[in-house]
Amino acid sequence: MKYWSLIVIVLLMVGLTLSTLSPPKDKQRKDKGKKKDNQKGPVDQSVFDRGLVVKDPKNIDILRESGLYHQDTNHRNFDGEVLGYITPWNSGGLEVAKTFHGKLTSVSPTWLTLPNGSIKEFKIATHDVQEKWLKDIRTANDAIHQLKVLPRLLFENWKPKEIINLHKNEARRAQLVQALIETAKKHKFHGYVLEIWIGFYYSGVDTRIIIDLIKSLSEELKKNNLQVVLVIPPSRSSETDVFSQTHFDLLSPIVDYFSLMTYDYSSVQRPGPNSPLDWARKCIEKLVPNDDDPRRQQILMGLNFYGYNYSLEGGGAILGSQYLELVESHKGKIKWDDGSKEHYFEVKTKVGSSFVFYPTLFSLQQRIQLAKDMGTGISIWELGQGLNYFYDLL
């Protein structure tokens, strides 16, 4: 390598290290969003110290600060369970899980699917499993803190007769459980997140059969020291509850945790906030009404780390990086919706305008406080979609 290019690289590295270790200077702040300047890395002050958890966040602060995080990633502000999902399609989540190992209690990579309920012998396809990453996560564990890995197992497109057959046929159930136990042993998983309820419920099979089936699978997994988390939908005012208090009462003695999907309250057809705070509270109260009930701990209230960009033509979900692009192009202020306790803003486009809802430090802090007040844990969908500075809150 030529001498001068080495010097340039060293200078760049010094510049980067200095700039990521200290908060942006006021001088830099005045240089208003002229160019995108989203630094990433650890700094010696948290978002609280830097005064960023506010109701009226500045666009420039979001752009400049959101990639930074407090260097003490082992310090926890939230004592309950924190489950973080990771998807292969936003693979940045793998790195996030390593960086914020100390802030999470378990991670659930969405690696496993059982797509065919009629197959003769169940095999768990593990081609998505990341061995090196699993090893890195284990290496970061110590006597005080161990991050559990519970991959999500999706039961996809099962027909009613296949569900009933699995319920009736004990040998078939035993074979499935055996395949799950062997897979867990081989990859050192601590259990599974079962994505089974919604699909089976809408198949039309009697919920008593579904509950019985989940109970029997969970019991066998737990006998083998594997944890079981059940994904459950939130309550919607427009319909009877897909997952009700009765279902919770029947399953809570067997299942360890319930991953409650308190997001996607609004949709492209009905734009609005993603997870109104009062609605999230009601979803928890409907399952466990009594504040002193210890089973509240079994609920992992869903926190969305993604947002939505709604327009007349439709729009769709957005990730942190897309949000930053929208914030950068947006000239006006970010607004607070006091009804839902969420931030949003309106972007003018050539044909009209679009509305952007995405979590902020302030909106997330209110939800984390809600989980503290209610005595629940948290589940994050998902680690690859959020912004680094969100983790200072946990």
Ligand X SMILES: *[C@@H]1O[C@H](CO)[C@@H](O)[C@H](O)[C@H]1NC(C)=O
Lay out the site mask for ligand X across 8-27 (x = CB under 6 A, - = otherwise). --------------------
Residue 127 structure tokens: 């081609």
Q: How far is the CB of 357 from ligand X (least distance, A)?
A: 12
Q: Is residue 313 a contact residue for ligand X (CB under 6 A)?
A: yes
- Touching ligand X, residues 353-372 (CB under 6 A): 354
Please, are residues 78 and 51 in contact by the beta-carbon 8 Å criterion? no
Please, are residues 393 and 53 in contact by the beta-carbon 8 Å criterion? yes
Q: How far is the CB of 309 from ligand X (least distance, A)?
A: 4
Q: Is residue 116 a contact residue for ligand X (CB under 6 A)?
A: yes
Applying CB under 6 A, among 179, 326, 366, 372 the residue interacting with ligand X is 326
Taking CB under 6 A as the binding criterion, the range among 24-32, 83-91, 112-120, 363-371 that sits at the site for ligand X is: 112-120
Q: How far is CA 100 from the centre of its chain?
A: 13
Please, are residues 231 and 156 in contact by the beta-carbon 8 Å criterion? no
Question: What are the Cα distances from residue 162, in Å, to 199, 201, 211?
Answer: 12, 13, 15
Applying CB under 6 A, among 187, 322, 337, 375 the residue interacting with ligand X is 322
CA-angle at 190, arms to 77 and 112, nearest 5°: 105
- Alpha helix stretches (DSSP H) within the chain: 3-21, 26-30, 59-65, 92-99, 131-140, 160-168, 170-187, 197-202, 207-223, 245-251, 277-287, 320-329, 361-374
Q: Is residue 178 a contact residue for ligand X (CB under 6 A)?
A: no
Q: Within 10 Å of residue 354's Cβ, how many Cβ atoms?
A: 20
Applying CB under 6 A, among 309, 360, 379, 388 the residue interacting with ligand X is 309
**Which CB atom, from 320 or from 377, has the smaller least distance to ligand X?**
320
Q: Is residue 7 a contact residue for ligand X (CB under 6 A)?
A: no
# residues near ligand X by CB under 6 A: 14
Residue with tokens 């945790």: 257
DSSP string, 258-311: EEE-----S-SSS-S-SS-HHHHHHHHHHH---TT-GGGGGEEEEEES-EEEEE
Please, are residues 45 and 70 in contact by the beta-carbon 8 Å criterion? yes
Q: Is residue 318 a contact residue for ligand X (CB under 6 A)?
A: yes
Q: Is residue 349 a contact residue for ligand X (CB under 6 A)?
A: yes
**Which CB atom, from 73 or from 311, has the smaller least distance to ligand X?**
311
Q: Is residue 233 a contact residue for ligand X (CB under 6 A)?
A: no
Q: Is residue 329 a contact residue for ligand X (CB under 6 A)?
A: no
Question: What are the Cα distances from residue 242, in Å, to 198, 274, 284, 329, 330?
Answer: 8, 19, 14, 40, 39
Taking CB under 6 A as the binding criterion, the range among 114-122, 248-256, 330-338, 358-366 that sits at the site for ligand X is: 114-122
Residue 34 structure tokens: 């002229």
Taking CB under 6 A as the binding criterion, the range among 31-39, 274-282, 322-330, 386-394 that sits at the site for ligand X is: 322-330
Taking CB under 6 A as the binding criterion, the range among 63-71, 161-169, 288-296, 314-322 that sits at the site for ligand X is: 314-322
Applying CB under 6 A, among 45, 77, 216, 311 the residue interacting with ligand X is 311
Residue 222 structure tokens: 């737990």
Applying CB under 6 A, among 33, 41, 315, 375 the residue interacting with ligand X is 315
Position of minimal CB gap to ligand X: 311
Q: Which residues of this chain interact with ligand X, rule CB under 6 A?
A: 116, 118-120, 309, 311, 313, 315, 318, 322, 325-326, 349, 354
